Amino acid sequence: MQALARLRPAQGIAAMQALNRTVLNPWFPGVFIGTAIGGLVLVGLFLWQGVSPRAGFLVAGTLLYGIGTFLVTAVFNVPMNDALEREEPASREGAELWDTYLVRWTFRNHVRTVAALAGAASLMRALG
């Protein structure tokens, strides 16, 4: 995002629009949603076998991913990407949106990154 922020707004918007279009491929929904579903299935299996100390780490990791990565993406980042997609890169409205988009999208991406790392650490702890 820092590299995109260094570009003129029209160039940054066009680049981000291209990135967002590229991400929306047949693999993305399966991996993104599948990870969340897989976590819920694992939690169910662990809890079905009886509560253990490792189950707490599994639940924490699944919640960190589900809320911090999946939900933040679905509730915040995707609508922001959709709004950006509707803008003409060279328009005044696009440039105005771009200023707030950069700040908000970057902040939420940091939230997703921290949640994903903490979730992965917790899930690895559950395995050990």
Find out whether 80 and 105 touch, Cβ atoms under 8 Å: yes
Counting the structural domains of the chain, the total is 1
- As averages over each run of 10 residues, the pLDDT of the chain (128 residues) reads 94 96 88 86 78 82 92 95 96 95 96 96 88
* Domain encompassing residue 86: 2-127
Find out whether 17 and 89 touch, Cβ atoms under 8 Å: yes
pLDDT tens sequence across 64-97: 999 999 999 999 999 999 999 999 999 999 999 9
